[in-house]
Amino acid sequence: MKPATPQTLLGAGVLALGALLAAGATQISAEAGYAGVGPNFLPWVVAVALLVCGALLVWEARSGGFREMEEPSGAAQGFWPGFAWVSAGILANALLITTIGFVLSCALCFVLAVRGFKASEGRPDMSPKAWLVDALIGIAIAAPVFWMFTQALAISLPGLTTTGWI
């Protein structure tokens, strides 16, 4: 048998994550809800999928490794300024979602993430026009998601106003 490789450890990590999710799913009520599906259905689906993928990853690694893998592309090291921009976007979203609402906080997250990704590609654009365009795209993405969840699915998301439309 081959010694443990990083590939085997990756598969074992996915198995462990699936097991943890399955353990957590046992703590969720199985009482059937809408259409006979309980709140623990999706966690169980994800847990089983992770367990299957983890087992396949371990099997693949132990039977010869990930064959026919292409060489990784990109830089040899991570781009830390881009990581900082994306992290700032995620943290700002988490901090501001209940204050400025889902749509605006997600749009802000989008704007900051775009700054990081563009900078990592070597084309940082800090012009006011770029910020405005990215903000409008972020709103155009977040608003329909907000409306779908709040109006069509009746799932409560924090809004900027009490009307339920923004």
**Is 35 a domain residue?**
yes
**Is 1 a domain residue?**
no
- Domain of residue 94 covers 80-152
**Is 57 a domain residue?**
yes
**Is 37 a domain residue?**
yes
**Is 27 a domain residue?**
yes
Q: What local confidence, expressed as pLDDT, does residue 165 receive?
A: 56
Residues 105 and 44 placed together within one structural domain of the fold:
no
Selection from 12, 3, 25 nearest residue 54 by Cα: 12
Q: What total number of domains does the chain contain?
A: 2
**Is 165 a domain residue?**
no
Please give the Cα distance from 101 to 166 (Å, whole number): 7
Q: What local confidence, expressed as pLDDT, does residue 34 receive?
A: 64
SS3 of 143, please? Answer: helix
Residues 86 and 129 placed together within one structural domain of the fold:
yes
Residues 99 and 145 placed together within one structural domain of the fold:
yes
Residues 51 and 101 placed together within one structural domain of the fold:
no
The model's pLDDT over 130-166, given as tens digits with 9 standing for 90+, comes to: 999 999 999 999 999 988 888 777 777 777 666 555 6
Amino acid identity, position 95: L
62, 89, 110 - which closes a domain: 62
**Is 52 a domain residue?**
yes
Q: Is 118 exposed, middle or buried (0-12, 13-18, 19+ CB in 10 A)?
A: middle
Q: What local confidence, expressed as pLDDT, does residue 151 receive?
A: 77
Residues 89 and 148 placed together within one structural domain of the fold:
yes
Q: What local confidence, expressed as pLDDT, does residue 164 receive?
A: 53
Residues 114 and 146 placed together within one structural domain of the fold:
yes
Q: What local confidence, expressed as pLDDT, does residue 66 receive?
A: 74
Those residues whose C-beta lies under 8 Å from the C-beta of residue 97, and which sit 6 or more positions away, are 105, 106, 158
Residues 127 and 87 placed together within one structural domain of the fold:
yes
Average pLDDT by stretches of 10, the chain with 166 residues: 75 96 87 70 92 94 79 80 94 91 93 93 88 96 88 75 60
Residues 84 and 147 placed together within one structural domain of the fold:
yes
SS3 of 114, please? Answer: helix
**Is 87 a domain residue?**
yes
